[in-house]
Structure 1
């Protein structure tokens, strides 16, 4: 028995040793194979590349055909930028519901709070502008402030106590009834050629168009698919920072062209004298409102002296000067039970609630959730979408030009160090939406807008469009010699960054160069394309000729503007002087190649992606297009295999 038992064990151990040796030898062979140099210069497919992206790039080039400025077709989920993005949780505010809220200029005490805590008595302190643009103060307190009372001013702090000694303290925002503003509308008639539309411009600081796609998908989807908005895909900044974005929009001028307003500079004056567009709207009888959070770094107060007087009929700056001192006693991004961004959004809606059918110009620019970190703006997406939906459901957008926008892309994040990040910085989100009836009444304007969505556009154009809202002239072709062109006119295809007042290092237009057909990228791409075409017809080789290259007729490379890659930062505090000592490396180039095959002289065009980091040449099979007529060349297979008609040249018998 013992001999019988030992023998199988020995055999088992011997087999196991042989198996281990075999695995070891196989591992050495695999290691040796991997060490052998291999040609990695081309791949017909790249597992890390979205195959549909090359198609979108080609489509973008076709839609921009004939334009002097061709903007890049960026991938919002490109691997070079996705490392900087993460999903953030929703804001969790206090579970204790705010005791006080505002409804159309009326102070209200929550019934839920009364049911829970009994009778509530509140002391009300109106918050108003102080002695300068940097202070806010309280007016005389009102105690008690009865439920249902009219607001004294737009903003107030409130301290409440219940009958059982529970306490509540917070700051709130709304729109108080202003008799003077209401009467002004009835006294002033709109200009003869005015379109009679309200303007609501709502934006976020530092959000590129690509980042908007990544971080605000619900808002964008509702805006484009339900409201039928139009995005300006070629919108290009004209300078560094928020003032260089908003000043051209609101005044039509650069900071250098306006009177000196920088704190500490000789002759500096408050910015009240600037030609603000809201002054023109106010003269036309419009109610005007301007909201910007982050009062500590206000666009016109951080470097500049700010306003001597309140610039618009309603202005949120006093609210934020007071509210920011209270942030520490609240949960992050909250004021009591309400997210701070909702307070901001609701205030914009309150302007519409208070003034109803009266003409309005409202601009809200929110920065807290996007200025330092684009990821955080995700928390606004759902509420921003619901805000737009609420306006639409209440028919408030039926006489409103709605503008969603940003000033520039991310400036302070690591993403700015990538080639795509630099391009995104120069191409912020900007989009318009018109009421459905507007296209029927002004079809030429909407037609131009759709054309302009692919053209080079700037903040100066937005300013000219505001003037056209107040005094519409025509929808003729714009003059490329003018720096600003109303978007109601067609932007000329020939427009360049120089025409539009954009310095080279801010110009996102692609550089394109004719490339010699002997270039290795061209040769390898064409070889791969012809191999791909021949693979389609290989099963029918007795009928279809094997194609060869006759000649390359055109090869063009599109690449990022070299001035963008050189731009490191602004070398001065005011963003006026560029430091071009940077050496950011581009990630990829794109080529468009046209070639002729023989026999048959078939002409083909393809778009190729050259990944510079990996030296990969990506040829999408779907993007090899036959561009001349094939006539009877594929007659031998066209009935049975119609999909092969562009690729088959029948063998003549």
Structure 2
């Protein structure tokens, strides 16, 4: 089922207040022009030598300091509704590292006694897809193994069913991390650093501070380093995580190993393959995986890409016991929050690897908590705090590089890196360089180079940090990033670049209308060949801003100017954001980056499958 079938459409009249609030949040977050005289108290790795009022202030990039709790923003921050999983009926069983156990306190909710329940479990697993299939196949064992109050589990994924009076009274799904033959053979001496990457989709750096203060404060306490100038390089999750995982843009990926959405990703070289070749155990997993990185409008993998893969459990679990569906996600699996189930699995994985002295590379991505609502991440603050704290208190971060990151709220996601204390002391030059890069312009390409460096963490000596084999597009965070670096140097299109100032201009001016018309013409050109899609026309320019990278006056008469517009088209009331570069001599227009869809399109584009063009298409059959 595609994303368009889940997305809902908000009535067009409601977009007026939504757009006003969204635009205010965006411009305060990204292009705020009022520079604050105070330095933030609770930021990571602050350097007082920088001019007050800027987060990044280098010759190549200036990003103004933005207060996460500015008075203009506070009115949009509210406490979201807490999902009521399973209609308030608690889970009958819970799991630990190796077994499932009856929760006796839940029995009254089911109005049964232990002796009256008949329970059994079946294992289930991923089935390798054939050439014409998507990577979403699951199979179950034939036998359902009976048990009573608890049972040890040797399988990776199981389904539990309990009956009473020959009818199903309870169904649940549990995941475990049994040792596999591939991991049991791993022997590396000395043991290298684990790499644990945990993503939280659609959360900017500022919104993390607003919504999850306990989590942020704890990461500060363990001296994690937050990158203040981490800038996305493309529109959504996929083209921003491909540079992290492969070092390539989406176009480069397409030309080298993934020709189209009808192909699998098996031929692409993901960073976890490098770790696997070095002897690491590898893991990958997402929640809300139906719209996951490799699965939404894509085929996924033919061979399982990593030793452990949680997303196959998640997909089947949401299908069987998912509830509290809102916007695009199931918020609950049975009586448990979907995001919390993922955190529990990550904890089981980390504990199992550490108990067996196995080094690992793990990449996990959560979307169910944060994908659709600005304020929902605050519901997970306590659980994320407890999760990170338990890893620290139980010693599971003693030999682990923790990377906590996001993809976007808009252009400045968060990336927070925690290194083991002993490692920070022993490799002080590398750590100090990482701290210095806190206030430099950084990108997903840099994070990829950092992951490559962490393949050899004991090589990060002074000589290695000072090496001259630097890349212009990607720099490891353990190498000093040039202060003169610009968005162009870092392969960030103007549309996504935050090293800019902006000035709101008349949305009805001749030049703005000219640029807006060009944007709509561009969309229609992209849709050529799709006769089922209606031709779009410009209905209204909702906002227009003149952008500049220059430190000089924003209204200086430059030969090249970038205009960022928010426009509404018809039919369908599509709301788009686009950056158009206009050259004065010769007169030339061009789209910078991609055109972003700001409102939901529901079933408007159900007549096509291209996941890029779905953003633009309005099916003629709806006219």
Q: TM-score, normalised by structure 1?
A: 0.65
- How do 1:277-296 and structure 2 match up within 5 A? 277-296=271-290
Residue in structure 2 matched with residue 352 of structure 1 by the alignment: 350
Q: Does 1:88 align with 2:75?
A: no
Q: TM-score, normalised by structure 2?
A: 0.68
Deviates more, 1:339-348 or 1:562-571: 562-571
Secondary structure of the structure 2 residue equivalent to 1:185: coil
Q: Does 1:235 align with 2:206?
A: no
Secondary structure of the structure 1 residue equivalent to 2:63: coil
Q: CA deviation at 1:234?
A: 0.4
- Is 2:254–2:260's contact at 8 Å kept on the other side of the alignment? no
- The whole-number CA distance in structure 1 between the counterparts of 2:298 and 2:433 is 37
Deviates more, 1:451-460 or 1:91-100: 91-100
Q: Does 1:462 align with 2:451?
A: no
Residue in structure 1 matched with residue 213 of structure 2 by the alignment: 217
5+ unaligned residues in a row in structure 1: which ranges? 1-48, 410-424, 514-554, 583-653
Residue in structure 2 matched with residue 104 of structure 1 by the alignment: 97
- Count of residue pairs the alignment pairs up: 467
- The whole-number CA distance in structure 2 between the counterparts of 1:460 and 1:96 is 46
Secondary structure of the structure 2 residue equivalent to 1:157: strand
Residue in structure 1 matched with residue 339 of structure 2 by the alignment: 341
- How do 1:137-176 and structure 2 match up within 5 A? 137-145=139-147, 149-161=151-163, 167-175=169-177
Q: CA deviation at 1:84?
A: 3.9
- How do 1:68-87 and structure 2 match up within 5 A? 68-78=60-70, 81-87=73-79
Q: 1:327 to 1:84 in 2, by over 3 A?
A: farther
Residue in structure 2 matched with residue 307 of structure 1 by the alignment: 301
- Is 1:508–1:564's contact at 8 Å kept on the other side of the alignment? no
Q: CA deviation at 1:320?
A: 2.2
- The whole-number CA distance in structure 2 between the counterparts of 1:62 and 1:477 is 30
- The whole-number CA distance in structure 2 between the counterparts of 1:364 and 1:564 is 37
Q: CA deviation at 1:314?
A: 1.1
2:436 corresponds, among 435, 442, 451, to: 451
5+ unaligned residues in a row in structure 2: which ranges? 1-31, 41-49, 130-134, 504-550, 567-575, 580-590, 599-623
- Is 1:510–1:558's contact at 8 Å kept on the other side of the alignment? no
Residue in structure 1 matched with residue 620 of structure 2 by the alignment: none
C-alpha RMSD of the superposition: 3.6
- The whole-number CA distance in structure 1 between the counterparts of 2:34 and 2:261 is 58
Secondary structure of the structure 2 residue equivalent to 1:74: coil
Secondary structure of the structure 2 residue equivalent to 1:211: helix
Residue in structure 2 matched with residue 34 of structure 1 by the alignment: none
- The whole-number CA distance in structure 2 between the counterparts of 1:327 and 1:164 is 20
Alpha-carbon displacement from aligned partner over 1:363-384 (angstroms, at most 9, x marks no partner): 2111112111121121111100
Q: CA deviation at 1:131?
A: 4.3
Q: 1:157 to 1:433 in 2, by over 3 A?
A: same
Secondary structure of the structure 2 residue equivalent to 1:271: coil
- The whole-number CA distance in structure 2 between the counterparts of 1:138 and 1:261 is 36
Secondary structure of the structure 2 residue equivalent to 1:258: helix
Secondary structure of the structure 1 residue equivalent to 2:405: strand
- The whole-number CA distance in structure 2 between the counterparts of 1:461 and 1:52 is 28
Q: 1:68 to 1:88 in 2, by over 3 A?
A: same
- How do 1:516-595 and structure 2 match up within 5 A? 563=562, 565-566=564-565, 568-569=576-577, 578-579=594-595
Secondary structure of the structure 2 residue equivalent to 1:171: strand
- The whole-number CA distance in structure 2 between the counterparts of 1:438 and 1:373 is 38
- Is 1:99–1:109's contact at 8 Å kept on the other side of the alignment? yes
- The whole-number CA distance in structure 1 between the counterparts of 2:153 and 2:70 is 50
Deviates more, 1:128-137 or 1:197-206: 128-137
Secondary structure of the structure 2 residue equivalent to 1:334: strand
Residue in structure 2 matched with residue 54 of structure 1 by the alignment: 37
- Is 2:36–2:53's contact at 8 Å kept on the other side of the alignment? no
Of structures 1 and 2, the larger Rg is shown by: 1
Q: 1:501 to 1:142 in 2, by over 3 A?
A: same
Alpha-carbon displacement from aligned partner over 1:40-78 (angstroms, at most 9, x marks no partner): xxxxxxxxx999932339745677554311222122234
Residue in structure 2 matched with residue 125 of structure 1 by the alignment: 122
